[in-house]
Amino acid sequence: MQTPAKQTLSRRAMIKAATAGAVAAALPARSWAASDGATADDTRRAIKTLYDSFTPEQRREVCFDWDFRVNIQYKRKPLWQADPNGILLRTHLANAWLITPHRLGSEFYTDEQRELVLNVMGTTFRPAWVRALQRQARDDSGLPWGGDQALAIFGDPASGTCQCAITGFHLTSRATVQDESLAAFGGGISHGHQPTGFYEQFGHPGNIFWPQGETANQVYQFLDKRQQREALVDENLPLFQYVGEIDRTTVADDTPWDEPRRESDIRFRRPGEKSPGLSLAKLGREQVFTLEGLVEALIAPYQPRYANQVRDCLREQGGLPACSLAFYRERDLGRDGVWDNWRLEGPALTWFFRGAPHVHIWIHVARDRRAPISTYFG
């Protein structure tokens, strides 16, 4: 007979297997070859091969110094106009934006270069997720992969300092050479998916990220009644704000802290400021095992070196007991108590899953709360 701890571990394994299986079952046939276990050297080679394929004109348009700064604003053009007092372009993210104006599917790039971009992505994401993101791009924009995505390369791929950022509708991702940067992934990242439209159908059918939401809700069910009451937040869901129109103000280090917070504000809370929801320090050991299963589900899309960065950052800031988990009663699709919106926070961790009206995921994980970031709602 299994002990309770082993039973919890078995549940965790089942959660991970169910998440992986749900994603794999939803994917199209394999269209691109990649493998797990990409190293920093693999990333460097992939970015350098892409970089070396660029013409001088292409480099002028999409390659930047490592510390390139810009006074970025929503839809501001040109983004590449340097401003020494601006934000670090390589640490900016949004749920929908083009970091440079040339779409990957345009004539600015060759077919060979488009394949090289997928090779770069394959050093960040596991093979199934490279394909999943290609599908997400088509679902959300009606365009094939590359129709609404762009890239920028920061630093010199021949050196030990380099990052390739790939952005677009519902995407900010990074392939970075450094393993010891302040932030996991080399900076904040974001995802999204709306396969059944802006107002997704109840239950998020076909959404490649909803298995993560199901896993989070299984965690909620493993809490006792008192813990569930503490975890459930009645109001102040971080959401895009309307001031006549959507508030797309850039959130940077010096931006005033608002309550309720903007959806895109995933800065780490100030010292002494309480995060909403349930303090995970109150969980029993078996429940912590279950929470570890959620973390594993969240990092499942990424190559092991990035998953390990998240684990390392989490451990250095005190592990899950130093975090909080909030489920939001607001905007519960179907009003069924299956929580579409939830947020995991730690001293230097924000993982925000907004499932209404469709899925957005905002991710910022670091070794230190001083890790630079800026965001806006795209």
pLDDT tens-digit readout, 174-231: 999 987 789 999 999 999 999 999 999 999 999 999 999 999 999 999 999 999 999 9
Q: Work out the angle between the directed axes of helices 4-26 and 210-222 (0-180°, nearest 10).
A: 160
d(CA 71, CA 160): 27
CB neighbours of residue 201 within 10 Å: 15
Q: Left, alpha or beta for 138 (phi > 0: left; psi -120 to 50: alpha)?
A: alpha
Mean per-residue pLDDT for 126-146? 97
Q: Phi and psi (nearest 5°) for 174?
A: -140, 145
Angstrom CA distances, 232 to 176, 221, 222, 320, stand at 36, 12, 14, 18
Q: How many CB atoms lie within 10 A of CB 329?
A: 14
With a pLDDT cut of 70, the percent of the chain lying above it is: 89
Structure tokens, 26: 């939803």
Counting Cβ atoms within 10 Å, is residue 161 exposed (0-12), middle (13-18) or buried (19+)? middle
Closest listed residue to residue 352, CA positions, set 242, 241, 264: 264
Residue 36: the pLDDT is 80
CA dihedral over 119, 124, 127, 132, signed as positive or negative: negative
Phi-psi region of 88 (alpha: psi -120 to 50; beta: other; left: phi over 0): beta
- Three-state secondary-structure class, residue 240: coil
Q: Is 168 helix (H, G, I), strand (E, B) or coil?
A: strand
Q: Is the peptide bond before 304 cis (omega within 30 degrees of 0)?
A: no
Decide: helix, strand or coil at residue 352. strand
Asked if 210 and 217 count as a contact pair (C-beta separation under 8 A), the reply is no
pLDDT of 17 higher than 50:
no
Instruction: Read off the pLDDT of each residue in 242-254 and give the average, rounded to a whole number.
Output: 84
- Report residue 165 as tokens: 């950022």
Tens digit of each residue's pLDDT (9 = 90 or more) over 98-134: 999 999 999 999 999 999 999 999 999 999 999 999 9
Is the pLDDT assigned to residue 363 strictly greater than 50?
A: yes
Across 29-33, 280-284, 291-295, least confident range: 29-33
Cα–Cα distance, 208 to 359 (Å, whole number): 10
What is the token pair recorded at 318? Answer: 């005190």
Confidence bin at 159 (pLDDT 50/70/90)? confident
DSSP H or E stretch at residue 94:
strand 92-94
pLDDT for res 30: 35
Claim: this prediction has a pTM higher than 0.85: yes
Under the banding of pLDDT at 50, 70 and 90, the label for residue 260 is: confident
Q: Let me know how many helices (H) and strands (E) the chain has, helices first.
A: 9, 17
pLDDT of 8 above 50:
no
What is the mean predicted confidence (pLDDT) over 34-45?
87
